Amino acid sequence: MKLRITGGLFKGHFIDTPKGNTTRPTSERLRQTLFNIIAPDIKDSTFIDAYSGSGAIAIEAFSRGAKQVYAIEHDKMVGKTILKNIKTLNIDSGFTFLQCDCLKGLKVVAKSGGADIGFFDPPYPKTVEELESFNQIFEMIEIENLFVDGARIFFELPSNMSQINLDPYPSLSIKKSRKVGDTLLMELNYSPKR
């Protein structure tokens, strides 16, 4: 399957998606919704795409003018697709691919000064234990200098997962949730309480 880049420098170009069912590519409609929301903020931003899959969100951010993009993907076979896509588009400076666990990748990004925009598309949780991965991400955002004050942070979630408890994370609050098809795009505000 191929995905189309919807805006910017690479608008209309197609990229590959990983073979098999190990990923769930973000729909073109949701990508367009996300980038319509962040359009005023994307130029010259530092952008994180965690659980990057094909790299479509990261490549789209780069295409639309982000000055530094971090694509984080743990799966090695999936990572090969991202590398192929960035090579096909001749992307070099300003794009960092981190082949590692999400939390390790986020620590690398935190050391580089913090991001303006983040997009997280973790595997949809099927059990309470899997929901714990969300809490680990929220905790990482809370204690590391991962984002700048006022950063825009987005999570792609199943539409039935609209209730997330952010009480233990005072720097985070839900700004808005948008239903896009059978998916929920949740935007969080980030304001450090230090």
Report domain extents, the chain.
Answer: 2-18+27-190
CA 86 to chain centre: 16
Residuewise pLDDT in 10s, the chain (194 residues): 788 899 999 999 999 888 766 666 777 888 899 999 999 999 999 999 999 988 999 999 999 999 999 999 999 988 999 999 999 999 989 999 999 999 999 999 999 888 999 999 987 776 666 677 788 999 999 988 899 999 999 999 887 776 788 889 999 999 999 998 888 899 999 998 75
The domain made up of 2-18+27-190 has a fold known as Rossmann fold (3.40.50)
Q: What is the pLDDT of residue 17?
A: 86
Q: What is the pLDDT of residue 92?
A: 85
How far is residue 120's CA from residue 185's CA, in Å, rounded to a whole number? Answer: 10
How far is residue 132's CA from residue 148's CA, in Å, rounded to a whole number? Answer: 24
Q: What is the pLDDT of residue 190?
A: 93
- pTM, entire model: 0.93
List C-alpha distances in Å: 74 to 15, 51, 78, 179, 181. 19, 7, 8, 27, 27
